[in-house]
Amino acid sequence: MALGVLCTGLAFIYFYRLIHRIGAARTSTVTYLIPLFGALFAWLLLDEPVTVKMLLAGGLILGSVAISQRAN
C-alpha cells in the first residue's frame, strides 16, 4: 500500500508542477500517453504480446500528442 501511495503522490506532484510550468491545456495531453505506457510496461515487465493494432494505436497517440503540442 505504501508503494502505491508513494507512486501516486509523486505522480500528482509532477502533474501539478507541469500544470504550473506549461499550463493546464498543454498538460492535459500528457494523460493521453497513459495507455501507451501501460502497454509498454505490460510488454516489458509481464511479457504481454504486442499486436499490430497496438503499434498503430501507439503511433496515432504519439502523433496526435506531437501535433497538439506544436499547435500551442
pLDDT for 72: 56
Does residue 35 have a pLDDT over 80? Answer: yes
48: left (phi over 0), alpha (psi -120 to 50) or beta: beta
Whole-number pLDDT of residue 1:
65
36 vs 58: CA distance, rounded Å: 6
Domain assignments of the chain as residue spans, ordered by start: 24-72
Checking if the pLDDT of 29 tops 70, the result is: yes
**According to the model, what pLDDT value does residue 27 have?**
85
| The three grid cell numbers given for residue 35, joined into one nine-digit string | 495507455
pTM above 0.85, yes or no: no
d(CA 49, CA 11): 27
Q: For the chain, what is the mean pLDDT?
A: 87
